[in-house]
């Protein structure tokens, strides 16, 4: 493949609901452009895009993949993007580096959950969109019903550029509303077609839809409106139509609809033409960066003469090293060069530079502005890093990834798995920035967070396949806390006489609750009120250590105790037998005695949730929240068919909420959650936690 300038490069994402045919469409576009000689099939596991073993096993896309084609003297970098919500991180990555989005719809399924998700993502990223209604040859396919749904559920800017001739088994061609010609399906199933006159029985329908299209195109420009009002559609030249169409697509007032059947490569040549006609080239996309020398914003043009900048938008890790996917925004990326990484403040040696088609890597001498490719074996480069020149450090705007919504505890199956776990987790987080790994401070468990239960199951399988680490996933333990609601005093004497030197320590303490304060880092306020030297000051830290150990163990449920003031105000020493260990034990036991008398309670973490759902589900969501001991704080319809519900709920009741919300809303709801405060556990539930702790202690005793 030859080198292309930015005015000839188009970076196009293929998005849509899982199963709408994005990967099949990618194969058909590759075949039509003669980039491959035979189309693979998702069902057979031999498509260009779905080359990962996890994808072949599940017959679905999990990772985005890049597949460049050459079409009419231009280069189109197709990016096939997964459609399921668990892989929304791939959608975010692709949206950051594309010039236009093709959203694929199933003509039988219509507007589905993934359609809405990717539509919203493209709209938020201000990416121009076109729709491709696929599978017109399938049973129950209905082009006009799908268009109507898209206009209602997505935007009334949606307007067909083409209409099909026939449907389902009778689908045999496409009418271009702009060119007023028919393209009849050829027998070769390679994207070829036969141009013909519009069938006589469809002329009226074609005129009706063409008028709607020209109406929208004319509305993009005052000059076009004037021409249109004076002379009708015929007064607009092809150039006028093209100019208005591009302007409308760019500002979102027009979202053209193309159609076809990807598994037979029907309509694919027209879609490739439509991509070139509809979307701006990479030459039109400037990049905003921060100049790290001056701290001021810099606007970078896609030109070789500009300072170099590239964004790493995806990372793959294999046994041979890392593969970093980059989009060059300005300047030129050369093989065998050196670049600067502002995050690490280190230079990175660039070896080979590749163009990539699925898993195939094709070595190229350089990647020019606007182009996409990969660099291998970079040492310390991660997704979202900017690569730039050492003498002009720049920071590109990073990708915003969705926050995790599902947590699981990672349990290695063997000692060998435990030894390899850290490295495997590091690698999967490098590959997928929507993952977060943490350690539970109380239990020591490793916790991984992602976008849903299926997401984490796939990650667990990937860890086993790629890094030979076998793990089980369980719901994490809820981080309960204990505190006291009253005041109490207690005295404890630790006295131990053996054959040699003894141990003696006697302390009297007072405990009382502190007002909860989220900014307080220390759960204990320890006050030394000893007067008269009844305890030597060298033993006071040992008493405090004993108290802290007792608080870490808890007194009723085995959970950390917080928000307590302990005052040491009396005690006794022995001139020979008093030692630090004795006062540590005395402090520990005195605290336990006092805490039991000070009305100890168990507290649970309460999380604040922001739940966004279609209006028709808001009642069900609020009812469900009540069953979870939640409190609905408010609801706010946005006027476009969606309602935001703010609520609080105990973590123990919402650990599987990512899965449950999808079930409650047919996958159309989304939510975010963050810790809000601790609250006393209801008495009947607290008792079960206390009984569970007694059972654990009993087992430990045996």
Tokens of 276: 């070139």
- Weakest-pLDDT range from 35-49, 193-207, 552-566: 35-49
pLDDT category at 702 given cuts 50, 70, 90 is very low
- What is the structure's pLDDT at 516? 87
Work out the mean pLDDT of the chain and round it to a whole number. 91
- Weakest-pLDDT range from 42-46, 184-188, 504-508, 676-680: 42-46
The β-bridge partners of 181 are: 176
Backbone angles phi, psi at 3, to 5 degrees: -80, 145
Cα 183 from Cα 203, distance rounded (Å): 14
Cα 212 from Cα 160, distance rounded (Å): 9
Question: Measured between alpha carbons, how far apart are the two ends of the chain, in Å?
Answer: 71
Exposure class string for 222-238: b at 16+ Cβ within 10 A, else e: eebeebbeeeebeebee
pLDDT category at 164 given cuts 50, 70, 90 is very high
Other residues' Cβ atoms within 10 Å of the Cβ of residue 113: 18
Cα 532 from Cα 521, distance rounded (Å): 32
pLDDT category at 700 given cuts 50, 70, 90 is low
Q: Which domains does the chain show, CATH number per domain?
A: 6-196+251-284 (3.40.50.300), 287-396 (2.40.30.10), 406-474 (3.30.70.870), 481-598 (3.30.230.10), 603-684 (3.30.70.240)
Cα 265 from Cα 277, distance rounded (Å): 20
pLDDT category at 85 given cuts 50, 70, 90 is confident
Alpha-carbon 238 to chain mean position: 42
pLDDT category at 231 given cuts 50, 70, 90 is confident
- What is the structure's pLDDT at 44? 66
Backbone angles phi, psi at 273, to 5 degrees: -60, -45
The β-bridge partners of 348 are: 339
- What is the structure's pLDDT at 701? 46
> Is-contact 367 333, C-beta < 8 A?
yes
- What is the structure's pLDDT at 441? 73
Longest dimension (CA), the chain: 115
Residue 633 in this model has a pLDDT that exceeds 60: yes
| Neighbour order of strands in the sheet with 394-396 | 297-300, 287-291, 394-396
Cα 85 from Cα 471, distance rounded (Å): 24
Tokens of 199: 């069938």
Plot region of 118 (φ>0 → left; ψ -120 to 50 → alpha; else → beta): alpha
Residue 421 in this model has a pLDDT that exceeds 90: yes
> Is-contact 105 20, C-beta < 8 A?
yes
The β-bridge partners of 447 are: 409, 438
Compute the C-alpha angle 209/211/217, nearest 5°.
Answer: 105
> Is-contact 254 248, C-beta < 8 A?
yes
Alpha-carbon 138 to chain mean position: 32
Q: What are the pLDDT digits (tens) for 363-388?
A: 999 999 999 999 998 989 999 999 99
The β-bridge partners of 318 are: 321
Task: Kindly state the average pLDDT of the residues 672-690.
Answer: 90
- Between helix 415-431 and helix 453-467 the angle, nearest 10°, is 110
Cα 278 from Cα 240, distance rounded (Å): 14
Most confident of 35-44, 238-247, 312-321, 335-344: 335-344
- Counting residues of the chain whose pLDDT is more than 70, the rounded percentage is 97
- What is the structure's pLDDT at 440? 81
> Is-contact 642 652, C-beta < 8 A?
no
**What distances in angstroms separate CA 611 from CA 61, 437, 644, one per listed residue?**
27, 24, 6
Plot region of 387 (φ>0 → left; ψ -120 to 50 → alpha; else → beta): beta
Length of the chain: 702
- Weakest-pLDDT range from 79-88, 120-129, 248-257, 273-282: 79-88
Residues in CB range of 250: below 8 A, 6 or more apart = 128, 280
Task: Kindly state the average pLDDT of the residues 274-284.
Answer: 92
**Cα within 13 Å of Cα(449), Cβ side:** 15
Range list of H helices, 598-702: 618-627, 657-664, 683-701
């Amino acid at each position: 493949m030859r080198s292309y300038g930015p005015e000839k490069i188009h970076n196009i994402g293929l998005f849509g609901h899982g199963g709408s045919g994005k990967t099949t469409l990618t194969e058909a576009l590759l075949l039509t452009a003669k980039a491959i000689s035979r189309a693979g099939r998702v069902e057979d596991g031999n498509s260009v895009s779905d080359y990962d073993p996890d994808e072949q096993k599940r017959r679905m896309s999990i990772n985005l993949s890049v597949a460049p084609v050459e079409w009419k003297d231009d280069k189109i970098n197709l990016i096939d993007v997964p459609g399921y919500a668990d892989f929304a991180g791939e959608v975010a990555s692709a949206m950051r580096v594309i010039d236009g989005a093709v959203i694929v719809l199933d003509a039988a399924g219509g507007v589905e959950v993934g359609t809405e998700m990717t539509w919203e993502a493209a709209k938020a990223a201000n990416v121009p969109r076109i729709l491709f209604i696929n599978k017109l040859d399938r049973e129950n396919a209905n082009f006009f019903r799908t268009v109507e749904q898209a206009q209602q559920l997505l935007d009334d800017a949606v307007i067909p550029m083409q209409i099909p001739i026939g449907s389902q088994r009778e689908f045999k061609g496409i009418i271009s509303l702009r060119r007023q010609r028919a393209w009849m399906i050829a027998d070769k199933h390679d994207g070829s077609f036969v141009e013909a006159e519009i069938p006589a029985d469809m002329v009226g329908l074609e005129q009706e839809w063409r008028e709607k299209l020209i109406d929208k195109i004319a509305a993009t420009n005052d000059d076009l409106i004037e021409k249109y009002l004076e002379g009708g559609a015929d007064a607009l030249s092809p150039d006028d139509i093209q100019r208005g169409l591009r302007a409308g697509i760019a500002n979102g007032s027009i979202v053209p609809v193309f159609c076809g059947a990807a598994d037979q490569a029907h309509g694919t040549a027209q879609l490739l033409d439509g991509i070139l006609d509809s979307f701006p080239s990479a030459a039109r996309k400037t990049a905003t960066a921060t100049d790290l020398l001056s701290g001021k914003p810099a606007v970078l043009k896609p030109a070789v003469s500009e300072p170099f900048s590239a964004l790493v938008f995806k990372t793959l890790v294999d046994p041979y090293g890392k593969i970093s996917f980059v989009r060059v925004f300005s300047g030129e990326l050369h093989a065998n060069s050196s670049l600067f990484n502002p995050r690490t403040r280190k230079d990175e040696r660039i070896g080979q530079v590749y163009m990539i088609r699925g898993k195939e890597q094709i070595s190229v001498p350089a990647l020019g502005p606007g182009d996409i490719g990969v660099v291998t074996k970079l040492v310390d480069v991660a997704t979202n890093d900017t690569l730039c020149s050492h003498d002009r450090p720049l920071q590109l705007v990073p990708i915003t990834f969705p926050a995790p919504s599902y947590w699981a505890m990672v349990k290695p199956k063997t000692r060998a798995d435990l030894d390899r776990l850290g490295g495997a987790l590091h690698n999967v987080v490098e590959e997928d920035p929507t993952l977060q790994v943490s350690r539970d401070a109380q239990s020591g468990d490793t916790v991984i967070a992602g976008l849903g239960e299926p997401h984490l199951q796939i990650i667990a399988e990937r860890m086993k396949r790629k890094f030979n680490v076998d793990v089980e996933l369980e719901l994490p333990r809820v981080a309960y806390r204990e505190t006291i609601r009253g005041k109490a005093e207690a005295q404890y004497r630790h006295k131990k006489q053996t054959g040699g030197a003894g141990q003696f320590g006697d302390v009297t303490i007072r405990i009382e609750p502190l007002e909860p304060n989220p900014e307080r880092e220390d759960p204990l306020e320890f006050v030394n009120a000893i007067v008269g030297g009844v305890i030597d000051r060298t033993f006071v830290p040992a008493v405090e250590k004993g108290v802290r150990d007792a608080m870490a163990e808890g007194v009723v449920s085995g959970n950390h105790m917080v928000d307590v003031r302990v005052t040491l105000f009396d005690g006794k020493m022995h001139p020979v037998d008093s030692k630090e260990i004795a006062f540590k034990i005395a402090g520990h036991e005195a605290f336990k005695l006092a805490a039991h008398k000070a009305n100890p309670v168990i507290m649970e973490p309460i999380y604040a949730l922001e739940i966004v759902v279609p209006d028709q589900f808001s009642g069900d969501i609020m009812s469900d929240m009540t069953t979870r001991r939640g409190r609905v704080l408010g609801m706010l319809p946005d006027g476009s068919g969606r309602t935001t519900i703010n609520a609080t709920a105990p973590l123990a009741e919402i650990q599987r909420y990512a899965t449950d919300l999808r079930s409650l809303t047919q996958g159309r709801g989304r939510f975010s959650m963050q810790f809000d405060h601790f609250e006393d556990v209801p008495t009947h539930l607290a008792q079960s936690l206390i009984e569970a702790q007694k059972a654990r202690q009993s087992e430990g005793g045996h």
